[in-house]
Chains A and B, each alone.
Chain A
């Protein structure tokens, strides 16, 4: 057995890390519900396991998603993770091969060159020496990039990089030192024995040109000590720092691929999510509160950090639009929106509103049977042109409809739900369900994506729920509506709740492409911007909302379209004042483009065509 006291810091650090990790993982796994565990067991011998393995390689090592977002950052992460992984693998093979002993000690691969400097008897010794040097070079480059990124994050296209906590700093500085320490130790070793690879040999020669052999031997020995100490320091700090993500991410990927859904509390799966966050900082730049309104301390990286270390939240849980852009961009695919809803719920369980004053809705025998029920929603009452346009569309298509909230709406309860007031939301839900079921129809059409999302997700309605974009698309496809194309360019703004919330991107685009020329923009579909008006944010001030709205309109206006069309009354209301009269809802656009209708309703597009002529 090869042994020297300097292996102890490394070995003890490794043992400590292993013990803490095993303990943590067992505790968290315990809190995964039995039903989820059954699902995992059932799926473990299916193709899903291969998918999990593939994703673990693609994301845990190669970091493909980060590459897609930012190449420099992707290269840095990929080279560090893959490089280190290969260094460990090849080092292990080399040492086992070199000792002709499969069960050698865990420190043998790390300090192999100290114990076996001349590599007697290793076939392909040159191959190993070259590969280990090459991997070390790759790692040194990525550490160099990491250091540069920490101080000049703009070079990497990041406006902001994450602020670190004490354990993070400790781990980060030891990580920075690990590979330079290894390089020096290996080079001194090469100087001592007069061997080495393409990188360690020249450095070794350089060192031996001004140091005597005895000095080199002393220095080499202390360098191995230093290398072992920084490795140990990194291992000890790993379970308490952001580097916890390295191993936790693999668990998360496995769970997700085996069919576990995001949990409804902060235990089990969510615990793994929390610890998989590497605070890479991608969410900080992508969050519009940061990029447009200059609020830099509430982003998912910091929010998850507060949960993980039980720090006071301040406004990190509330100052969020729940637009879901961070979920789109998160390279680990953490469902932050879900996590925020959970925290809000836990904090506000005792807060209850009561709606006894709402009338009791009962079904009468004489209730008129109609094709559709139309529920405009609270926000549509602030933009009356949208319900009006919908009425024109219904009339034109010959649909009988019952405008159930013509005289004003009951809220669907989503704003309450997103503030964590579940009980109050359930009360509203019961009332509204009764109102809807007191009518006689098969289809419920709503103009508000917020209501739509709630109706689909939370209400168990016995009818088909559609947003008006879908209805219009169906009507046009069935030739119930005849629309004439116009010579105009249109940019479509995806509302958060309809797009990322319900995954409906194409209906509106299909409709709009029949009316004008649809111009794509950079930030659309899953990456769509938030209008800033979201009711999910209790905290943010009006002035900041305006900044977000103005910035969103600016980006939508990038190609200078004739019209900016959205499908959400709230988006329209929030952005219209910045849009120079270009902002319209899809219902209004369609109502304007109808071929057979009262001409007086055709106010906007005609005037536009007039100007163009």
Chain B
């Protein structure tokens, strides 16, 4: 009776940047323009407090956001502790905490 039995085709993991939904990215950029400066260097990921326990990091959020992977962002975002280590190590002075705070606020106020 298991419907799982048999073969199936994985959903494509390809991301088409031309079709990516960057509405949230643009919304957050209008609140915190310094997000545009992110170069995905990973300094924040290296120091992240939540990153010790999960795959969460600001870098991941930033990449997912730009690629329009909003569901992934939504899943990850609640893990942040807002401790602020990422902001201190960021070589590009991205105001990471403000970005994370508004992302969380966005998801809590508008259900996807």
Contacts and interface: CB of A to CB of B under 8 A. Distances in A.
Interface string B39-64: 00000000101101110000000000
Nearest to A358: B53
A351 B84 contact: no
A348 interface: yes
Given A381-B47, A535-B97, A542-B95, A352 B89 contact: no
A406 to B, nearest CB: 12
Contacts of B47: 381-382
Given A353-B104, A354-B78, A415-B83, A541 B49 contact: no
Contacts of A419: 82, 101
Contact of B79 (A355, A379, A416, A542): A355
Contacts of A410: 49, 81
B112 to A, nearest CB: 15
A359 B79 contact: no
Contact of A379 (B50, B52, B78, B85): B85
Interface residues of B, number: 30
A421 interface: yes
A533 B88 contact: yes
Nearest to B102: A538
A573 B88 contact: yes
Given A350-B108, A351-B104, A543-B93, A359 B53 contact: yes
B54 A421 contact: no
A503 interface: no
Nearest to B90: A542
B52 to A, nearest CB: 5
B81 A416 contact: yes
B98 A539 contact: yes
A172 B28 CA distance: 42
A353 B34 contact: no
B74 to A, nearest CB: 12
B85 A382 contact: yes
Interface string A331-375: 000000000000000001011111101110000000000000000
A348 B101 CA distance: 10
A596 to B, nearest CB: 35
Contacts of B84: 378-379, 415, 535
Instruction: List 8 A-B pairs, minimum CB-CB distance, nearest first.
Output: A542-B93, A411-B83, A411-B81, A535-B84, A378-B83, A408-B52, A354-B78, A538-B98
Interface of B: 34, 47, 49-50, 52-54, 77-85, 87-90, 93-95, 97-98, 101, 104-105, 108-109
Given A410-B49, A411-B81, 7 more contacts: A352-B78, A353-B77, A378-B85, A382-B85, A419-B101, A424-B82, A535-B87
22 contacts: A348-B105, A352-B78, A353-B80, A353-B82, A353-B104, A357-B50, A378-B85, A379-B85, A381-B85, A408-B52, A410-B49, A415-B81, A419-B82, A428-B81, A535-B83, A538-B101, A539-B98, A542-B87, A542-B95, A543-B93, A570-B88, A573-B88
